[in-house]
Amino acid sequence: MNSEKLTKLIIDALDDVKAQDIVKLDVRDMTTVTDYMIIASGSSSRHVKALVDNVSETAKKAGHRPVGVEGEEGGEWVLLDLQDALVHVMLPKVREFYNLEKLWSIVPTGDATASDG
């Protein structure tokens, strides 16, 4: 499954369980860790967990096993690593504080180690 199809599968799975404010970020030019980041909000810790569980199960059924999951205990921010896509599901207050959309929209301007002359 290519990364574009995987992101569609993730977004559909999030939408099925009523995720809020789903955003897809193409980070292929910024990192080699993943191709896409999908960010979504849940209305409660329980909702965040349900969203991640649904994405995980949907991905498994499609033959794409998650590499790892972090943050399930607290439920305020859960990260699901599907290799070609990282899924961040957060409570709105946590999402607003960390503002990953802005962080990952910053484009490098050049080599910070280069001397000015």
**The CATH number fitting domain 3-103, selected from 3.30.460.10, 3.50.50.60, 3.40.50.300, 3.40.50.720:** 3.30.460.10
The whole-angstrom separation of Cα 54 and Cα 14 is 7
Cβ-based neighbours of 43, under 8 Å, separated by 6 or more: 20, 92
How do the domains of the chain map onto residue ranges?
Answer: 3-103
10 touches 55 (CB < 8 A)? yes
Which pLDDT score is estimated for 111? Answer: 57
Cβ-based neighbours of 68, under 8 Å, separated by 6 or more: 80, 81
pLDDT (tens, 9 = 90+) of the chain, 117 residues, equals: 688 899 999 999 999 999 999 999 888 877 788 889 999 999 999 999 999 999 999 999 999 999 999 998 888 999 999 989 999 999 999 999 988 887 777 655 555 555 554
Sequence-distant contacts of 48-53: CB under 8 A, at least 24 apart: 48/75, 48/76, 48/77, 48/78, 48/89, 48/90, 48/91, 49/75, 49/78, 50/17, 51/14, 51/17, 51/19, 51/89, 52/78, 52/80, 52/87, 52/89
